[in-house]
Amino acid sequence: MIEGTVRDMLKIAGIEINGKNPWDIKVYDQRWYKRIWSEKSLGLGESYMDGWWDCQRIDEMIYRLLSSGLERKVRGNVKYLLKFLPAVILNLQSRFRSRVIADRHYDLGNDLFFSFLDPYLQYSCGYFRDTKELGRAQQAKIDLIASKINLESRDHVLDIGSGWGGLARYFAEHYGCRVTGGNISREQLSYAGEFCRDFPVDFIDQDYREITGQYDKIVSVGMFEHVGMKNYRTFMRVAHDCMKQDGIFLLHTIGSNRSRRGCDPWISKYIFPNGMLPSMAQISKAAEGLFVLEDVHNLGPHYDKTLMAWNRNFQEAWPQLAAGNSRYDERFKRMWEYYLLSCAGAFRARYIQLWQAVFSRHLPGDKQPFCRY
């Protein structure tokens, strides 16, 4: 009965079991039907990692699932909903727990990330305007950010969540400014220090809540997804207090169409522990009374292209990556490709977005900063 129901529901999304289309699902283990019926997205992802099913185009399959509205029709399982409960009750992104994401994701190994990222090591959405090449798209993204904050050589920039230092180096290298990057990933900080050694760039091993000082411009690219709804206001206060009166703050973050209190259970368990995607309502509420929201730019379609490029690079690099590290087994490969491709499908379906929001501090009589090129 469950098998028939699952098949019928997938047909709503135009997906057939053992069909001929590249987005159709080939099932190898009959237990798969019961597993995804009871565990929803968690079961779908885990069963792919376990080799229970395959699909030529996971990105297209996820796109069709989400575009059909099927997720809303199967959401009501109590066991599944309980997985979101800790995020509602607890502050999973507290200062005490803040390094969990670094330990379990960003410190997995630089060899993994460098196998699919661009030369400036941008682990966030590129900007594929007038290019199809990942490296140029990532440089275009950084230039876009620089234009929106009116970056000048005299500026001292704070980069909250500075990764491997690529954005900081690019700013210093191409715009001549000084940059301070804050991060809690020891692997990233160690590499970033060497990567930016010849430039006016410094890094601090600090949780964002501990950052002090005064800066002309502030950017945070791909970090706000780890802040959590209980801390959005705190994050905005830190940015406000660290920015000079005439400064500009740019927030670059994946976002949800609806205000949520948790993250997808599979993503949270295997990729981004305690992650949470903010809605625009949550962002604006957190900034209210502290900042003027000057501009919002949705780059969601560019993240689809970024993720597909990352997956191509990952697949090409896999043989050498797997040969050099015993931690990267076949189950890990399936987990990582499922992560990249399912996220691409989610952006394609416009289930999630990528926003660049520009903020200024309110000064009576001040002119609006020119932040959209």
| Alpha carbon distance 86, 90 (integer Å) | 5
Residue 146: enclosing H or E segment and its boundaries? helix 134-148
Residues in CB range of 180: below 8 A, 6 or more apart: 156, 157, 158, 159, 201, 202, 203, 204, 213, 215
Question: 3-class DSSP state for residue 358?
Answer: strand
125 catalytic? Reply is: no
Over its C-alpha atoms, the chain yields an Rg (Å, rounded) of: 21
CA distance 324 to 330: 14
Distance, CA of 189 to CA of 266 (rounded, Å): 28
Q: Which of 55, 196, 242, 343 is catalytic?
A: 343
- Rounded Cα distance between 97 and 273, Å, is 10
Of 210, 293, 283, give the one whose Cα is nearest residue 248.
293
Residue whose pair of structure tokens reads 């920015």 in the numeric block: 243
* Gap between the Cα atoms of 98 and 151, Å rounded: 30
The phi and psi torsions of 61 (rounded to 5 degrees) equal -65, -45
The CA-atom distances, in angstroms, between 91 and each of 253, 276, 281, 296 are 20, 11, 20, 28
253 alpha carbon, distance to own chain's centre: 7
> 232 vs 59, 91, 221, 276, 309, CA distance in Å?
31, 11, 15, 11, 31
Q: Which amino acid is at 245?
A: Q
Which residues are tagged catalytic?
343
